[in-house]
Amino acid sequence: MKRAWIFGAWFSVAVLAFAGERVTLWPEGKIPNFQPQQIAATTQEVKEPGFKPAERVMPYLDWYDPPVEKNGACMLLISGGGYQNCCDGVWIDRVAKKLLDLGFVCVSLTYRTPRPQGLPIYQSGWQDGQRAVRLVRSEAQKRGFDPEKIGAFGFSAGSHLTVLLATSALTPAYEAVDALDQLPCHVNWAIPIYTAYALTDGLTGPNTRDGDAIDVKLTDVFKFDAKTCPMVLFHGGTDVYSPNGSTQIYRQLRRMKIPAEIHLFADRPHGFMGDPSKGEQGTAYDNWLDRIAEYLRQMNFDGRLGEEVDLMARYPNDDARDGYRKEPVWPEGRIPDLQTNQCVPYLEWHMPKTRTTKAIQIIYSGGSYMGNSPDGFEVAPTRRFLNEKGMTVVTMKYRTPRPLGGLAKHTTAWQDLQRAVRVVRSQAAALGLDPDRIGIMGSSAGGHLTLMGATSSKRRAYWPIDDLDKLSCSVQWAIAIYPAYALTDGAEKPNTQGGNEDDSRLVPEFSFDLATCPILFIHGDADGWAAMNSIKCWEQLRRMGIQGDLHTLVGRPHCFQRKAAPGTGSYTWMGRIWEFMNHKGFNK
C-alpha cells in the first residue's frame, strides 16, 4: 500500500503498512522555536539507508487509508520515545488497524525530537500536537468525520503529550502562524497509555520515589481546563514511570466529574503490551486493545452503543455444573455471636462437569450487610461462568441483617467468611482440589467483606470452636467487585467526597497484614460507593509489593453488570476474572 508525502508542491512515494497520505504541519519557515538539531522521523525511518537528518525537520501527519465503514469519528495516534525519538511505529500501526476495524478514521503524528534545548522537554511536541489537532479538525468534512469527534491516543511520552492535549487546550503552546490557528485545538476524548512525566518526582525521567511520596503531586503542566475531555488510562503496576501518575490523573478527572476509566495491570513494566492471540490463556495486558474498543462503545464515540441485556438472561442455567451439595458453615449450636434476627449461614458446592483446574472460588453477594443472596445477579452468573471454565465454585450465604449489640456491621459476616475458608480448605484434598488455591469474591458490601478476608486473615474474627479452626483462613487471591465502605468518607454510606481527597483514607478494619493476597478490582466510575475505594486499595497493595489488576468502567453505576450493552466492559467484565487468574496462575 502506498502513501504520498506532501511537502508544498513536490511529492515522493514510500511504502508503509496501512498508511495513505502524508501532510506537513507547518508552512515552510514557520516552525515555532525551530532548532536545527531536531528531526521529525520515526526510528524506523532513521534506520533507512540514505536517511538525511537535515532533510527531515518538518513534523507531519500520516493519514491511514479510510475504514470500510466510517463511524463519524477520528483518532490521532502519537508515538512515545521519551521526547527523544518516535519509536512506536509498529504498535501505532497495530492500534490503527484495531481502530480502523471499528470504523475510525486514523491519522498518526510524527513530532520533533530529540528534546528541545532551553525549553521544557515537551514544548516542541506540544506545539506540533496542538497544530496537528487543528489540521485534523480542518480536514473533518473532507475525510468524513465530525470535527467534534476527535480523540487522541499516545504511548509514554506520547501519552504525556496526549494528556497535554486533553487537559490544556486553552493554553497556547505557540503563537499563531496562519488562519488554521484560529481553529480550536481541544480533543474530545483521550487514551493515554503508560503516561510518563506526570508526577513531580519524575518530570524528565523515571519516578525517583515511585510516585508515591507524600509530597509528590501531579505536574502543573496539565491545566485541567474547561476543555478537559473524558479519558481511558492504562498502566502497568511495576512501571518505573509510576502508575500513580495515571491514578492521579484519574482522580483529578473524577474531581471535575469528567467521565473516565482506568486499567492497571499486575506485574507489568513500561511497555506492557502482550499477545492478543492467546485466546483463553490471555491476560488483561494481552487484551488491552479490547478495553479501548469497549470504552469507545460505552461512550458511544463509535455511534454503535446497543440496548442493554440482563445478565441473568445471559447465564440462565447450570448446564456446566455436575455435582451440587449444601452444608452449614458452623456446627449445630456453635455459631459465634448468635443473634436471632439473622439468617443461618450455609455453603453450596458447585462442581463443574469438566474440571480444568484444582482451584476453588468462593463467591457471595452484597446487600449493605442487610441481606444477601447466592442466587442473584452478583453470584449465579459468575459461578456459572467459572463452572463453564472448569473451576469449582463454593457460594456462601452469610449472616444478615447487621448484628445488634454494638458489633460492627461486618463482624458476623467476617466470622462466617473465615470459617467458610477453613471448611473449604479442610475438604479440598479429598475432592481432588488444591487446599492452597482458594480465592474469595464479593460485590458491594460483599466487596468490603472480600477486602476483610484478603487483608486481615491474621486477625481472629472469632474464638476457635474446634480443630478445624487450626487451619489457616488466608486465601491466595481475591476479587473485589465495586467494594463499598472502604474509605472514611463512605464507611457507612456512599462516599461524600467521591473518595477523591487525601483525607478520604482506607478504613481501619483493613489490616493489610503479611498474608494479604493479590486482588482484582472492578468498579463502575459513576458508582456512589466510589471507584476510589478500589483505586486506593490498589495503591496500598502496590506499596506493599503486592500486584493486582484494576478496571474501572466509564459511566457505570453500582451494580454495573446487572444490565449491560454488548461490546462494553460491563458486558465482558467476567473475562477480567479469568485473565487475572491466567496471569497469576491461580487457575492452572
Going by pLDDT thresholds of 50, 70 and 90, the confidence category of residue 276 is: very high
**In DSSP terms, which residues pair with 351 in a beta bridge?**
323
- CATH class for the domain made up of 314-481: alpha beta
Q: Which of 11-15, 205-209, 550-554 has the lowest mean pLDDT?
A: 11-15
Class of domain 2-298: alpha beta
Q: Is the pLDDT of residue 34 over 60?
A: yes
Per-position DSSP letters for 76-137, written without gaps between them:
EEE--STTT-B--HHHHHHHHHHHHHTT-EEEEEE--BSPPTTS-TTHHHHHHHHHHHHHHH
What's the pLDDT at 312? 98
- pLDDT band for position 408 (cuts 50, 70, 90): very high
d(CA 165, CA 153): 10
* CA distances to 21, 56, 68, 558, 565 from 15, in Å: 11, 17, 21, 49, 40
Phi, psi for 69 (deg, rounded to 5): -130, 105
Q: Write the DSSP symbol of residue 199.
A: B
* Strand 346-352 relative to strand 392-397, pairing: antiparallel
CA distance 44 to 546: 37
Q: Which band of pLDDT confidence, cut at 50, 70 and 90, is reported for residue 4?
A: very low
Mind listing the pLDDT tens digit for each residue in 129-141? Answer: 999 999 999 999 9
Cβ neighbors of 90 (< 8 A, separation 6 or more) are 44
Q: What is the percent of the chain where pLDDT is above 90? A: 96
Residue 255 reports pLDDT greater than 80: yes
Q: Can you list the alpha helix ranges (DSSP code H) found in 395-477?
A: 411-428, 445-455
Question: Residue 10: pLDDT band by 50, 70, 90 thresholds?
Answer: very low
Residues above pLDDT 70, as percent of the chain = 97
Please compute, for residue 304, the number of CA atoms within 13 A of its CA located in the half-sphere on the CB side: 17
**For residue 569, what pLDDT band results from cuts at 50, 70 and 90?**
very high
**One-letter identity of residue 496:** T
- Give the integer Cα–Cα distance in Å for 288 and 220: 29
User: What pLDDT score was predicted for residue 14?
Assistant: 33
Q: How confident is the model at residue 355 (pLDDT cuts 50, 70, 90)?
A: very high
Secondary structure of 334-359 in the HEC alphabet?
CCCCCCCCCCCCEEEEEEECCCCCCC
The pLDDT mean for the chain works out to 96
pLDDT tier, 3 (very low <50, low <70, confident <90, very high otherwise): very low
Each residue of 162-219: pLDDT tens digit?
999 999 999 999 999 999 999 999 999 999 999 999 999 999 999 999 999 999 999 9
Q: Which three cell numbers stand for residue 66?
A: 479510510
Q: What is the pLDDT of residue 7?
A: 32
pLDDT at position 1 is 29
CA dist 346 and 326 (Å) reads 7
Average confidence (pLDDT) over 332-355: 97
Q: Is a pLDDT exceeding 90 seen at residue 19?
A: no
User: What is the 3-state composition of the chain as percent helix, strand, coil, each rounded to the nearest 5?
Assistant: 30, 20, 50
**Widest CA span in the chain:** 91
- Cell numbers linked to 10: 513536490
Which residues have CB under 8 Å from 257's CB, separation 6+?
Answer: none
This prediction's pTM:
0.96
Please list, residue by residue across 375-401, b when 16 or more beta carbons sit within 10 angstroms of its beta carbon and e when fewer do: ebbbbbbbbbbbbbbebbbbbbbbbbb
Torsion of CA 223, 224, 230, 232, to 10 degrees: 60
Query: Does 2-298 match 314-481 in CATH topology?
Result: yes
CA dihedral for 439, 443, 447, 449, sign (positive or negative): negative
Tell me, what's the pLDDT at 11? Answer: 27
Tell me the average pLDDT across 245-259. Answer: 98
Q: How confident is the model over 558-579, as a mean pLDDT?
A: 98
Angle CA(62)–CA(66)–CA(72) in degrees, nearest 5? 110
Residue 20: what pLDDT?
Answer: 78
Quote the pLDDT of residue 469: 98
Q: Between 89-101 and 288-298, two packed helices, what is the crossing angle to 10 degrees?
A: 40
Model confidence pLDDT, tens digit, residues 488-546: 999 999 999 999 999 999 999 999 999 999 999 999 999 999 999 999 999 999 999 99
Delimit the domains of the chain by residue range: 2-298, 314-481
Q: Residue 588 carries which DSSP code?
A: -
Per-residue pLDDT, 142: 97
Cell of 204: 524528565
Distance CA 412, CA 193 (A): 43
pLDDT at 9 over 70: no
